[in-house]
Amino acid sequence: MPANAMNEGRSVSVNDPKCTAAVELIHVSKTKPVVLGDSVTQLQVIEDVSFSVPKGEILALVGPSGSGKSTLLRMINRLEDPTSGRINLFETNISSLDVRELRRRVGMVFQTPALIAGTVADNVSYGPRLRREDCDPGEYLDLVQLERDLLHRPATALSVGQQQRMCIARALANRPEALLLDEPTSALDQTAANTVLDLICRLNRELGLTVIMVTHLMEHARAVGTQVVLLVRGAKIEEGPADAFFRGPATEIGRRFLQGELSNER
């Protein structure tokens, strides 16, 4: 059976009240080749991970360094593909979508702001410009609470915190249904990080945006997450409401992780 056979003959839109899973991972595994001397071995980076992110939730994807968080996030945007398993976006297998359309619908923001050469306006209107659509970049600066005076400055002239908010504005200009954030606050000082965390909560609340945020900072996961998935050595260890996880993890591994006893374990 083709991987996307389940979607045949069905048309499920983001506004369909029956469709509540924004992103769904179904038995996703990923191996990566590692060269050791003359031989190549396959490293199991993600192992049979399944979970779903309900529409409008903020999922904090946490785990020790090297546990596979970035790999998982990158697969949702098809920067990498699973070795096996399936990922759905509003019940459509993402492998059946045009990659550009997928990346319009699912925005991604990285730890280090990824800048396009040019002004802030050039950066924010990048996606709509590629699609030859109109875009008022000032509207998106308003959304991330950056002054419109910055529009004609080179993007490189912004502070790192401002650049990160500009990258979020650039993703928003594509009118995405979900946002993937890979350690968006790790390169920022505490004040700039708090501004970005407040922004994530506000966008979620006001636009109903579904968010998956990878972070190794538990206070940041706690500040924004409504749901948590804990990944250790490529496997899902815990999944559930954030408040329950932070009150008391269901597993011994989860407890050890929150105690800081699992850092850098792989």
Ligand X SMILES: Nc1ncnc2c1ncn2[C@@H]1O[C@H](COP(=O)(O)OP(=O)(O)OP(=O)(O)O)[C@@H](O)[C@H]1O
Binding site for Mg ion (CB under 5 A): 70
Residue 65 interacts with which of ligand X, Mg ion, none, CB < 5 to 8 Å by class: ligand X
| Span from 10-18, 20-28, 66-74, 162-170 in contact with ligand X (CB under 6 A) | 66-74
Q: Binders of ligand X: how many residues, by CB under 6 A?
A: 14
CB of 72 to Mg ion, least distance (A): 9
Least separation in angstroms between CB 259 and ligand X: 18
Distances in Å between the Cα of 62 and the Cα atoms of 91, 126, 128, 218, 235 are: 24, 30, 32, 8, 12
Contact pattern from residue 204 through residue 243 relative to ligand X, giving x for each residue in contact according to CB under 6 A and a dash for the rest: ------------x---------------------------
The secondary structure of residue 123, as a DSSP letter, is H
What ranges make up the beta strands (E) of 90-201? 92-93, 106-109, 178-182
In angstroms, give the least distance from the CB of 262 to ligand X: 12
The 3 state secondary structure assigned to 34-51 is EEECCEEEEEEEEEEEEE
The CB-of-100 to ligand X minimum distance in angstroms stands at 23
Closest distance of CB 5 from ligand X, Å: 29
Of the residues 32, 78, 202, 222, which one makes contact with ligand X according to CB under 6 A: 32
With helix as H, strand as E and coil as C, how does 72-101 read? Answer: HHHHHCCCCCCCEEEEEECCEEHHHCCHHH
Residue whose CB is less far from ligand X, 70 or 163: 70
What are the b/e assignments for 70-92, b being 16+ CB within 10 Å?
bbbbbbbbbebebeebbbbbbbb
Nearer to Mg ion, 70 or 125 (CB): 70
CB atoms within 10 A of CB 127: 20
User: Which is nearer to Mg ion, 50 or 112 (by Cβ)?
Assistant: 112
- Considering the rule CB under 6 A, would residue 119 count as an interface residue with ligand X? no
- Cα(60)–Cα(244) distance, rounded to whole angstroms? 13
Paired with 231 in beta bridges are 236
Asked if 77 touches ligand X (CB under 6 A), the answer is: no
* Cα gap 190→2, rounded to integer Å: 47
Please report which helix (H) or strand (E) contains residue 23, including its range: strand 21-36
Residue with smaller CB distance to ligand X, 34 or 244: 34
Picked from ligand X, Mg ion, none, the partner binding residue 184 (CB below 5 to 8 A depending on kind) is none
Q: Is 63 in the site for ligand X (CB under 6 A)?
A: yes
CA proximity to 195, closest of 235, 223, 153, 170: 223
Our CB check for ligand X shows the closer of 53 and 231 to be 231
- The least CB distance from residue 255 to ligand X, in Å, is 19
Residue 178 dihedral angles phi and psi, to the nearest 5°: -150, 155
Q: Which is nearer to Mg ion, 55 or 233 (CB)?
A: 233
Q: Give the binding site for ligand X (CB under 6 A).
A: 32, 34, 43, 45, 63, 65-71, 216, 266
